[in-house]
Amino acid sequence: MNETICALATAPGGALGIIRISGVQSLEILSKIFSKDLTSALPNTIHYGHIFSSTAPAGSPSDPEVLDEVLVSVFRAPHSYTGEDSAEISCHGSRYILNKVLELLVMHGCRMAGPGEYTMRAYLNGKMDLTQAEAVADLIASSNAATHSLAISQLRGGISSELSHLREKLLKLTSLLELELDFSDHEDLEFADRTELSILTKEIDKRITTLTLSFESGQAIKQGIPVAIVGKTNVGKSTLLNRLLHEDRAIVSDIHGTTRDTIEDTIDINGITFRFIDTAGIRQTTDEVEQIGINRTYSAIEKARIILWIVDQEPSHEELSKICLYAENKKLIVIRNKIDKSENKPFTLVKIPLIEISAKHGQGVSDLEQAIYLAADIPDTSDGEVIITNARHYDALLRAHQSMTRVLSGLESDLSGDLLSEDLRDVLSVLSEITGAEITPNEILGNIFTHFCVGK
C-alpha cells in the first residue's frame, strides 16, 4: 500500500492509451517525466504537456527527447478511485509510447500494478465494500443489458444495502435473546416470547433463502440461459436454430436423423443471452452413433432451463406425456412447426403454451422469441430486486441459512439462549464476510482480485 503503482488501463490497439498511477508519490514521480511540475496540482484538474524520454527534461516542446503529447488528469486523496493521490496519463495509443512511459515511471520509483490492484486499494481504503469491488469486474465483463444491469446495481450497493437490512434484523434478534440471558433471573421482567423470536427468525431466513434461490437466475443471466430444442427427427429443430441465429449454423436436410451431435450457440433476446442447443431428433434407432447423439439430447434437456419441444403434427397422447415428463421443473414451450404446409393441421393443448411457426419462412418466430424471453422469468433488477451472481456470496448465504435453520429449531426445542446467540453471531459474521466488513484474509482477497484485469 505504500508503493506507488502504475499500469496500462486500456486495451492495446486503440487511438489512445491510458496509464494509471496511484500512491503517495504519484505526482512527484510523474513530475520527473512531465513538462510541468504537478506536485502541487489541484485535485480533479487536467494538464496538457509532454512526456520526456530522458531523465532531465530539456526545455522546448520540439525537443527531440519528447516522447508524446499527453493530457494528465490529477486526483487527490481521498477523492480518487483508489482513495490515494493518483493520475491518469492519456497518451497516443502506440505500444512503443505506452511501454516507454511505463518503463520511465518504473525507473522513477513506481511498481507495475498486479491484476485488480487499484480496486483492491479502493476496497482497503474504504471507497467500496467487497461486493462493490467484485461488481467492478462484472461491469467490465458485462456483455448485454442484463449482465450490465446486475453489475451496476451491485456496484451501486444493491447487495450491500440488502445485507445491511438483514444485519439490522439479526442484531435486533440477538439483542432480544441476550436480554433474556442477562436478566433471566429477574422474574418480574418480561421478555419477548419465543414465538415472537421464531417469527423474526423465519422472516430473516426467508430473505436469506430468497437470495440464495436467486443465484440460479444470476448464473443463468451471466452464462446465458440454456434452451434445448428437442423433438422427433425431421420436425425442423435445426431449421429453427438457424432461423434464431440468422445464420446457417446447423445442417438441415429432409433425411431423418441429420443432426447427430448437439450444436450450441447464443443470441440475445431483449438484452438477455440465451444459449440454444439443437439436438439429435428422438426416435428408436439401431445406429450406435445416432443413439449416442440421442443420449446427449436427454442430457441437454436435463441441463436446460427452457425446453422448446417441436412437433409438425398433433403429438400422440404417448408423446405428450413423454414431453411433460422430461419438462418437469422446466419451462416448456411446444412449437407447431411447418404451419406453411397445408397437411399440417392446427391443434390445441391444455395448460401448455403452444406457439405456431414456420421455421423455414419465419412466421411466428418473433412471437416465439417473446415467449422464450417471458419463460426465462428473469427478475427485474430495475425495481430493486437483488440477484446473487457471485459464487462466493452464494456460498456464504448458504452457510447463513444453515445457521438460521439451527436457530429456528433451537428456538422451537427451547434450547438455551447462549447456544442460539452463538449461531446468530455466526450469521452476522458470514454477512460481514460477504461485504468484507470484517478483516478478510489475504488469500481470499488474492482470489477475488486475480480475476481482474491489470489496470483496474
Ligand X SMILES: Nc1nc2c(ncn2[C@@H]2O[C@H](COP(=O)(O)OP(=O)(O)OP(=O)(O)O)[C@@H](O)[C@H]2O)c(=O)[nH]1
| Residue 25 partner contact from Mg ion, ligand X, none using kind-dependent CB cut-offs of 5 to 8 Å | none
In the complex, minimum distance from the CB of residue 69 to Mg ion, in angstroms, rounded to a whole number = 58
| Residue 257 partner contact from Mg ion, ligand X, none using kind-dependent CB cut-offs of 5 to 8 Å | ligand X
CB-nearer residue toward ligand X: 172 or 256: 256
CB-nearer residue toward ligand X: 154 or 239: 239
Interface of this chain with ligand X, residues 230 to 269, rule: CB under 6 A: 233-239, 252-254, 256-259
Strands of the 263-269 sheet, one edge to the other: 263-269, 272-278, 225-231, 306-311, 331-336, 354-356
* Residue nearest Mg ion, CB atom distance: 259
In the complex, minimum distance from the CB of residue 277 to ligand X, in angstroms, rounded to a whole number = 12
| Residue 204 partner contact from ligand X, Mg ion, none using kind-dependent CB cut-offs of 5 to 8 Å | none
CB-nearer residue toward ligand X: 368 or 388: 368
Region binding ligand X by CB under 6 A among candidate stretches 31-39, 90-98, 201-209, 229-237 = 229-237
Taking residues 48 to 87 in sequence order and writing x for each that binds ligand X by CB under 6 A, - otherwise, the string is ----------------------------------------
- Residues 22, 14: Cα–Cα separation, whole Å: 23
CB-nearer residue toward ligand X: 233 or 402: 233
In the complex, minimum distance from the CB of residue 246 to ligand X, in angstroms, rounded to a whole number = 15
Question: Are 2 and 44 in contact, with CB atoms under 8 Å apart?
Answer: no
Question: Are 280 and 260 in contact, with CB atoms under 8 Å apart?
Answer: yes
Q: Which of 51, 155, 294, 359 binds ligand X (CB under 6 A)?
A: 359
In the complex, minimum distance from the CB of residue 278 to Mg ion, in angstroms, rounded to a whole number = 6
In the complex, minimum distance from the CB of residue 294 to Mg ion, in angstroms, rounded to a whole number = 12
CB-nearer residue toward ligand X: 163 or 244: 244
Taking residues 152 to 171 in sequence order and writing x for each that binds ligand X by CB under 6 A, - otherwise, the string is --------------------
Q: Applying CB under 6 A, does 297 fall inside the site for ligand X?
A: no
In the complex, minimum distance from the CB of residue 343 to ligand X, in angstroms, rounded to a whole number = 10
Cα atoms in the 13 Å half-sphere on the side-chain side of 306: 27
Region binding ligand X by CB under 6 A among candidate stretches 202-210, 334-342, 409-417, 441-449 = 334-342
Region binding Mg ion by CB under 5 A among candidate stretches 192-200, 231-239, 288-296, 407-415 = 231-239
In the complex, minimum distance from the CB of residue 358 to ligand X, in angstroms, rounded to a whole number = 4
CB-nearer residue toward ligand X: 123 or 309: 309
CB-nearer residue toward ligand X: 253 or 321: 253
Q: Applying CB under 5 A, does 238 fall inside the site for Mg ion?
A: yes
Question: Are 212 and 388 in contact, with CB atoms under 8 Å apart?
Answer: yes
How far is residue 434 CA from its own chain's centroid?
15
In the complex, minimum distance from the CB of residue 244 to ligand X, in angstroms, rounded to a whole number = 12
Three-class HEC string of the chain:
CCCCEEEECCCCCCCEEEEEEECCCHHHHHHCCECCCCCCCCCCEEEEEEEECCCCCCCCCCCCCEEEEEEEEEECCCCCCCCCCEEEEEEECCHHHHHHHHHHHHHCCCEECCECHHHHHHHHCCCCCHHHHHHHHHHHHCCCHHHHHHHHHHHCCHHHHHHHHHHHHHHHHHHHHHHHHHCCCCCCCCCCCHHHHHHHHHHHHHHHHHHHHHHHHHHHHHHCEEEEEEEECCCCHHHHHHHHHCCCCCCCCCCCCCCCCCEEEEEEECCEEEEEEECCCECCCCCHHHHHHHHHHHHHHHHCCEEEEEECCCCCHHHHHHHHHHCCCCEEEEEECCCCCCCCCCCCCCCCCEEECCCCCCCCHHHHHHHHHHHHCCCCHHHCCCCCCCHHHHHHHHHHHHHHHHHHHHHHCCCCHHHHHHHHHHHHHHHHHHHCCCCCCHHHHHHHHCCCCECC
| Residue 425 partner contact from Mg ion, ligand X, none using kind-dependent CB cut-offs of 5 to 8 Å | none
CB-nearer residue toward ligand X: 131 or 337: 337
CB-nearer residue toward Mg ion: 118 or 326: 326
How far is residue 298 CA from its own chain's centroid?
28
CB-nearer residue toward Mg ion: 120 or 311: 311
Region binding Mg ion by CB under 5 A among candidate stretches 12-20, 232-240, 319-327, 346-354 = 232-240
* Residue nearest ligand X, CB atom distance: 281
Which residue from 117, 125, 43, 120 is spatially nearest to 85, judged by alpha carbons? 43
Interface of this chain with Mg ion, residues 255 to 284, rule: CB under 5 A: 258-259
CB-nearer residue toward Mg ion: 218 or 281: 281
Residues lying near Mg ion in the complex (CB under 5 A): 237-238, 258-259
Residues lying near ligand X in the complex (CB under 6 A): 233-239, 252-254, 256-259, 281, 337-338, 340-341, 358-360
